[in-house]
Amino acid sequence: MSRFFLKFNNFFSNFEALGSLFFRFGIGIAFVIYGLGKFPLPPEGLIEYFGLPPILASVVAISELFTGIILIVAGFIKNPIGHTLTRLAGLNIVILMICIFVIAHSDWFITKQLFTNIQIFLLIGGFYFLFKGNNK
């Protein structure tokens, strides 16, 4: 029986890098879509709903868009620049998501709503890439 587990684990260890790649693409595409959804600038929804100044609302939209793009592209840059870009994208995701929780969803802290919504997974993804960078 242990031979089965050894073969099973060895087979899937060949695909270890794909897990990070799929996660990177998922988080990156989500941020690109969220960012694009706020165009044209300035995003009226952020201005009206949260009372943000037009310049700050535009920075949020552009930041989301470029964070997603940078996260995806940095995964293909196999040097310290790609590693640093991945960590900076992760840091920006963490900052954006914490601000979203504090401003838009402060009533969600440690509730079912928090753990059944995509925002918590985006935050976790941000921490993942902030801590991991491009390391395997």
- Using the CB atoms, write b or e for 2-27: b if 16+ within 10 Å: eeeeeeeeeeeeeeeeeebeebbeeb
pLDDT digits (tens, 9 = 90+) for 49-96: 888 899 999 999 999 999 999 999 999 999 999 999 999 999 999 999
The rounded distance, in Å, linking the Cα atoms of 36 and 128 is 23
pLDDT digits (tens, 9 = 90+) for 96-128: 999 988 887 777 777 787 778 888 899 999 999
Angle subtended by helix axes 118-132 and 16-36, to nearest 10:
120
**Domain locations along the chain:** 17-132
Are the CB atoms for 8 and 23 separated by under 8 Å?
Answer: no
pTM of the model: 0.86
Q: How many CA atoms lie within 13 A of 31 on its CB side?
A: 29
